[in-house]
Structure 1
Amino acid sequence: MTSTGPDVAASIAASMIEIPAGWIRLVDEGSRRRWPVDLEPYALAARPVTRANLAGLTGTWPDGPGEPDAPATELSWLDALALCNTLSVTAGLRPCYLIGDDRDGLTATWDRTADGYRLPTEAEWEYACRAGDPGDRYGELDEIAWHRGNSGGTPRPVATRAPNAWGLSDLIGNVWEWCWDLFDPDVCGPYRVFRGGGWNDQPRALRASCRRKSHPTFRMDDLGFRLARSRPGGSSAVVGE
């Protein structure tokens, strides 16, 4: 039996993990640009949004491969924003996003005063992924991640690999995850960041610092998303960018 929207909202609310305030330096390996980010406390879902989550929320099984508890894929960045808003309304929260009618990704805005669900910023994503670990990843690859060498060629059910020190699963491997941020607007225009590596990737992509990008309308079978929420009065402040 498929869960209902309120069931999904309650399940996701229970899965949110409180992330403490902190600081991280992001690095773009291509340009060698570095920039620091101060972070206020926020909450992040322990696992990516699943196919079953979306079926319960929307009443329709999503496209994409995998079992019901595998991450939902074939979702554009704009799809992810719209689904964040849908979940927020279902949960009785104020939606974070205003999405323009032209659907080009350039008119989507984030109301940072809203208390609803949203995508993490890439600084929030990497800070949570590392959970204080300075290495390439937070554990041995086969123990923490589904990747080309062990996935069997498909997304796998979430939370079936070891979590990091803060209890977050699948940040490395299984599917890439959309973030809010533009990748490099001067060079790539509206392209948005995604992080984490996927079920068909080699180890080089499966690192906390690895940045990739795509157009906000693109959909791929190894790209999904994870939910975040701001805490009252909190916001991410970029320093020196």
Structure 2
Amino acid sequence: MSDWSVWMGLPLWVWLFVLPTALVVLCAIRPETAQHLLSPVWSLLDRLYLLSGAISAVFLVLILVIIVLQMMARWSSIAFPGSTEFAGYAMAATSFFALAYALNRGAHIRVSIFLNLNPFTHRWLDLFATLIAAITATYFARYAVKTNLFSKILNDRTQGQDMVPEWLLSVFAMVRTAPGQWGDLWAQTGSEWVFTPVWLPQLPMSIGTILLAVALWDNLTRMAATGQSRIRSEAVE
């Protein structure tokens, strides 16, 4: 049984794979028009990648803060339940939010021995490799989101000692709730602490993989339209 549901009149696989590939082909056929139409989108995406890198840096600092608090709690004989789990969540968020930003900074491992043979092989092999990477990342993003949804449906909770305030869950619930129902939502929200739902630390995985897939398709359109990759290495040789 296929679970590629229909969305806005088309199967999901068409939206995720066929239409982005068709856009890349159109960029290759009409590069001038594509550059004119997509330049504002490219500029917006560049800011989005930078924002994801900044969020990744915030979570990296948060790891340091948690470690320092762990040390202070140990020295003062104060319990800090769930600190190990929260540090792990922050580490996962750091990794996934940094994926798209790191890609465009050349921080991902890329084997370029065949790309450097001549300009012809560089262009077409780079396009082919990026296409395979974009398809793979899109699959990853799709199933990351699916895992997130299943965790929410099953109400899966952490097996550790970490707990979060109930109001924090209500903040996220507002996204999928109509504004007219926000009053009832907060009326049912208590002040208790509850064990962390698994979908909450899984959110950065879903967001990060989606951004990575978007960044790869974005790079494909830029290479097809301009002949140059957005990926720039910051390594000093």
**TM-score (norm: length of structure 1):** 0.24
TM-score by length of 2: 0.25
Greater Rg, structure 1 or structure 2? 2
Higher relative contact order (CA 8 A, sep 6+): 2
Higher helix share: 2
Higher strand share: 1
